[in-house]
Amino acid sequence: MPLPLPNRFDRVCKILDDHDRNPAHLIPILQAVQDEYRYLPEEIMVYVATSLGLPPARVYGVATFYSHFALEPRGKYIIRLCDGTACHVKASIPILEALQRRLDLTPQRKTTPDLRFTLETVSCLGACGLAPVLVINEEVYGQVTPARAIELVEALIAKESPHVTANA
């Protein structure tokens, strides 16, 4: 379970204090904040900016430069499918399409409305020998097929909430 919001805000304050509110630490601060919220909410970025004495436009610039930072809410399970050259050649796109169909997502809509899954492609995970590669949160899966990917997702859906029905 993610922390309730009040506690998460407490954690943001602690993150800022741990970094002595030093503007030079903006990137590690944003990383830690994203760990709390799974993305960077706008109000929190403004709070971080004012706490560090930085213009909010600068924080927004940093947050939008790095693809690691998400500005939209993301799911509990972040599925990163590699679409680098090796994975692409080894047919990563059919995996992407299968996952999009199963989770009812599109290239624009990357996160399920219940905030359980986010599906993204990345350019290379540096594990080309295992192509095609899929990473769910921190777990890496190699030589994935569309069927295997669906299997992984089904397992997570089942584990997540036995009472959630298939149409959730």
Site track for another protein across 138-157, x = CB under 8 A: --------------------
Is residue 13 a contact residue for another protein (CB under 8 A)? Answer: yes
What residues numbered 28-87 form the site for another protein, per CB under 8 A? 41-47, 49-51, 54-61, 64-65
The amino acid present at 28, given as its one-letter code, is P
Minimum CB distance to another protein smaller for 21 or for 101:
21
CB of 45 to another protein, least distance (A): 8
Minimum CB distance to another protein smaller for 58 or for 109:
58
CB of 52 to another protein, least distance (A): 11
Residue-wise DSSP of the chain: -PPPHHHHHHHHHHHHHHTTT-GGGHHHHHHHHHHHHSS--HHHHHHHHHHHT--HHHHHHHHHH-TT--SS---SEEEEEE-SHHHHHTTHHHHHHHHHHHHT--SS--B-TTSSEEEEEES--S-GGG-S-EEETTEEE-S--HHHHHHHHHHHHHHH-TTS-TT-
Closest residue by Cα to residue 104 from 166, 155, 162? 166
Segment near another protein (CB under 8 A); pick from 2-10, 24-32, 101-109, 146-154:
2-10
CB of 127 to another protein, least distance (A): 24
Minimum CB distance to another protein smaller for 6 or for 129:
6
Minimum CB distance to another protein smaller for 60 or for 141:
60
Residue 34 corresponds to which tokens in the numbers above?
């994203």
Minimum CB distance to another protein smaller for 14 or for 109:
14
Which residues would be at the binding site for another protein (CB under 8 A)?
Answer: 4-7, 9-10, 13, 41-47, 49-51, 54-61, 64-65
